[in-house]
Structure 1
Amino acid sequence: MNHPIKEFLGYPRADGLVGTRNKVLILATVHCSFIPAREIAKIAPKAIVLTHYWNCRSTGEGQEMVVDGLVEMCKHPNIGAVLLVGLGCEEISVSLISERISGCTKPWDAIVCQEAGSAQAIEKGRRLLTRLISKTSVEKRERMNLSHLKVAVQCGASDFSNGLFSNPAVGRTVDNLIEAGATVIFSEVAELIGVEDLLEKRAANRSVAREIRLAIEDERKRWRTLHRSFNSHENHGNVKGGLSTIEEKSCGAVLKSGSKKVQGVLEYSSERIEKPMKPGLYLQNQDGYGSDVGSITAMVAAGAQMAVFTTGSGSIVGHAIIPVFKVTANDDTYNRMADNIDYFVSPGDYLSKDSIDKDGMEIFKSLMKIASGEQTKAEVLGQNDFAVLRIDSMSGISESRRKIKPPKCI
């Protein structure tokens, strides 16, 4: 297909990556320092303040997974500068994060509350923040090839309309993105249970096919270990919205990945966070148990600079690091929540393949505008959600999967 748009306006970074946004991140390395971090940010309403909620007794693989996730947020191309705000005695400390981002090409600084108390920390933090904002303000958007763009695909608050209408439309968008040279990452492995054969047939090679099979088998084993039905992955809203089994949900969920070949399976675990080495379609296998927001964060850690999110009964999810473009095909949801939904797929138009293709292209064009700076509804509303995955009692790690490395991934 001859795409009308082959470029977007992005922020080129010194490390070769490209951002769709140019944000200043204030990261509280422990929840104890979140209030001072929030006070510092009051002089700059557009600065984003993040923390995590895992306590200092989180050690080993669980802690490592959180640290890696936070570090990837600091390094992300949508972040122009970073200010770390710590307490001083926490396990995930300013010094630990600083060590991991010390080679980063972007400006960053840090303060520790125990060194002089909260009042002085806030005063100093505001001086440092002003300096960081000044440095990021000189960054300008430039025309960038779509090979620099990575898009996450996610669904949430799903109902019957996802599988019938919005997911197929986004699947066409995914195909358009890949044909135009971009990268797309999808996950939610639990919602691929029952469609393994379909996805394996789309693997770029046998090694990738085996990785897909192992990822889904691991998810099955995890749920069996927990003595839970696979259908427990469906929530009350899914059932109320007309989805009766996980297989039924999976058949609809896989459609949002489009029809292109899967180039690799990206690992997100305490051992590594893998990123695509070349453009194309990738499945991310996430260790840990989390929400839609945690899943998006994992794909952000893999390099996604924006996300497209399908919803049926209605989701208000956004993300602190990347813009989230929400799509629904439920007209009742759109009528109730138009201030949260970016694009409406009209079910009444789905009488021909041309309608699906048309919606797929319209969403593609909208995403290009968002990548170039236009705001999503979630951004306008300040829906800066954030959560980082970690290993807990809900998750297991497959040694068999770790012994086999997916091709062309780091």
Structure 2
Amino acid sequence: MGSLSASYFERAQEVIPGGVNSPVRAFKSVGGSPLFIQSAKGAYLKDVDGKEYIDLIGSWGPMLFGQAHPSIENAVRDALSKGFSFGAPSYNEVLIAEKIVSMIPSIEKVRLVNSGTEATMAAIRLARAYTKRDKIIKFEGCYHGHGDSFLIAAGSGVATLGTPDSPGVTVSTAKDTLTAVYNDLSSLRNLFEANPTDISAVILEPVVGNMGLVIPEPGFIEGIQQLCKTYGSLLIFDEVMTGFRLSSSGYQGLTNIQPDLTTLGKIIGGGLPVGAYGGKAEIMNMIAPAGPVYQAGTLSGNPLATSAGLAMLNLISEHPEVYDALNQKGKALAEGIRQQLSELQIDGFVNQIGSMFTLFFTNKAVKNFSDAKTSDTAKFGIYFREMLNQGVYLPPSQFESWFLSAALDEAHIDHILKASRIALEKTLMA
């Protein structure tokens, strides 16, 4: 008898393109058909067939404290009893905006939207208006959502599908997006020198999660900031993934760098759909209705999402120790898997920072998109499927970060490492 997940996926393909509402969920790069999730709590996901899995996706980042944390659940229940959406201002919008501004020093004003993609699209429009320039620079393998301007040498699901660009992105749009190599300042400098008065902004994931986890080399981010200052361009940090995950003020809180604009998402919604962009007041005051740059959204500042997000940010403020604890779990996992790779003589490289982690099946250090693409994706598929058999749910792509949560304890880490050993041995037999 087949599984309910397989049955549901068959039905889904009749009415949903590819059977999923986001490409990486389809399991195309790892083989098999996706699991349909029925519920989630703490460190676990449960599928429609009743099997539980240790959750290392965390809804792609938002679940810092684990699934369905009681404080966030209670906040949503309370908000739900008062209405779903108003189409008018609510007090929680002010509270969460004040909270974000108080936690991230580079943000003086913030605009709430409904997704990370909305946030990055609006931030780019704002940067172009502020600088009166058309071109942007992004980095190969950095994924900033599915806006046309960003689907040029993109990572994440685009990398999984094996298509560096998307049909439907026009030539005229593509010509205004220039791409540099992550962790290679010379490639960025060359673009600035060739276009000295044309670059409105440089946008990047300061820590990349969408070509798998890739960490900036010492001096790289500082060099970007200096080039932006030299050429009069804005620096935009896409912290949709890293915002409030690596510290209580994002990746920028771990450095002395303050970008001109920051995009946020995921954690600031506590698991509900949300996005935001913010920065210096002088720049943000160009947004309508304060200024001429138009951006709007019927559900922006939705009372359910802002309630969940505010509860999440309050949890972070109440438990600042969470980041050290998560980093220790991340290090234990990384060191354990590195040891397994060495003992089994399997080509692999592990990147880890805080609660973000990726195992690449390659024999070289992964510092950019080209390095990441040397990974053996067939081996990752074998590893992924066996981890699933062992009750561990990884992101179903070599080119995604794993996310740890505070709900994981030592027993969970031990289980993950035991499962990893079995899964790595399976790759040797393939």
| Same fold, judged at TM 0.5 (above) | no
- TM norm structure 2: 0.24
- TM norm structure 1: 0.25
